[in-house]
Structure 1
């Protein structure tokens, strides 16, 4: 496959992944959404279906990595790093496009949610409190969870370990099943199996951190959150942003190492 095919496939596929995955988060979170309060099961299933859809769309062009941790894992497994920058570029660009499309699709709901006193509190009173304003601007804003992940208990070591473990499960599953004949992406059956693995990770390991398990899925939308003109959106929680980038990359590398030792 050519570099242009890889870039186009990863951009389109990752955009679809984030549009549908971020979309279910928006549907469950935002006021005036018919799915508000649907819960964690809806989110886990929504992300699984998002993975499946994105894989089947992008696989013919790029092999459907859709995740820098997958790209790193396959590069370590095969010893070929030549296309890694192209995969990364498509994945991060696609993630940002997908996040922007979530904002477009839920534009009215975002505005209603972020101007509701039950959500943002008494804005005039809070504006007079300098410390409250600073905390709001630095921490996680009320809709950041639609775009990127955050921990329930902020413990960097535990949060990092959770992301490493979750991503290890994902990448070892990708490497041991469903690869196409070229060995560089998911085959037809692999798309379905991987979607089910993502659902399983979400249900079993997603509680502590929201299971980023994908650096592009977290960092790209976090940048979009920081840039979008959302009223009262609060901060993008940049002090935590390194965890869902570093953790999945470590998890992917470890999975590839185990694969080469145990399965190759």
Structure 2
């Protein structure tokens, strides 16, 4: 079935918003004061992000490919797997979707944002930081995490079993994200997606939240650049070794 460009971009927009609602919504549930999931732990967050990727791929994989990540879009274009003319529209849709998804998280958790005084907890519901305060570690974690995500996702989605049963492949991609958050997420969060970090960070800077502290713009380039480079390498390895 052929879809219009508007429908394709709507899928990227809504899909990225869903990612933010499930992912950063899970972080807000764990970190913000007074929620019913407060302090429920890292597995809650990992599940939120795993499902936050799984569901958009199930919902929109057949429409737009469900990139829901500028790093995935750019990496595929660089490696000749995606039309360059669609890169900018896809990225804009993803960025806008991330902003709207984060705004929904803020609105639904508004009383808890106002009750929370921990600046780090508030910031963590929006964007990533490095737990050790190392920009080098921040970069390496986001680079290798996104490399693994893109390589794993492409291998699953384009394998014979993945093409025959795309729903099963979408579920496996969700488990890849779930696994990455539990295994490589400790140092930075992780982000693995420029839209997932940049737009929520912007929302953090704009929204009137008591005790929110700094948006830490000096390091904001890292979870944008590192995932893009990691994704390019991941897609290159896929194309070179397994396509």
| Structure 1 length-normalised TM | 0.85
CA distance in 2, matches of 1:17, 1:151: 21
Whether 1:104 aligns to 2:83 is no
Asked if the contact 1:141/1:235 (under 8 Å) is kept, the reply is: no
CA distance in 1, matches of 2:177, 2:92: 23
Q: Identify which of 192, 217, 220 aligns with 2:171.
A: 192
* TM superposition shift of 1:141: 5.0
* TM superposition shift of 1:142: 4.4
CA distance in 1, matches of 2:82, 2:45: 35
1:49 counterpart residue number: 51
CA distance in 1, matches of 2:183, 2:12: 27
Consecutive unaligned residues of structure 2, counting only runs of 5 or more, are none
CA distance in 1, matches of 2:61, 2:237: 25
Q: Identify which of 9, 20, 23 aligns with 2:22.
A: 20
Consecutive unaligned residues of structure 1, counting only runs of 5 or more, are 120-139
* TM superposition shift of 1:59: 2.3
Whether 1:233 aligns to 2:236 is no
1:262 counterpart residue number: 241
RMSD: 2.0
1:146 counterpart residue number: 125
Asked if the contact 1:3/1:83 (under 8 Å) is kept, the reply is: no
Matches within 5 A, 1:1-264: 1-75=3-77, 76-78=79-81, 80-114=83-117, 119=118, 141-179=120-158, 187-264=166-243
- Identify which range, 72-81 or 91-100, moves more after superposition: 72-81
* TM superposition shift of 1:79: 5.5
CA distance in 1, matches of 2:57, 2:47: 15
CA distance in 2, matches of 1:55, 1:175: 12
Between structure 1 and structure 2, the one with the greater Rg is 1
Q: SS of 2:27's equivalent?
A: helix
CA distance in 1, matches of 2:179, 2:185: 9
Asked if the contact 2:145/2:230 (under 8 Å) is kept, the reply is: yes
CA distance in 2, matches of 1:146, 1:4: 30
| Structure 2 length-normalised TM | 0.92
Asked if the contact 1:180/1:187 (under 8 Å) is kept, the reply is: no
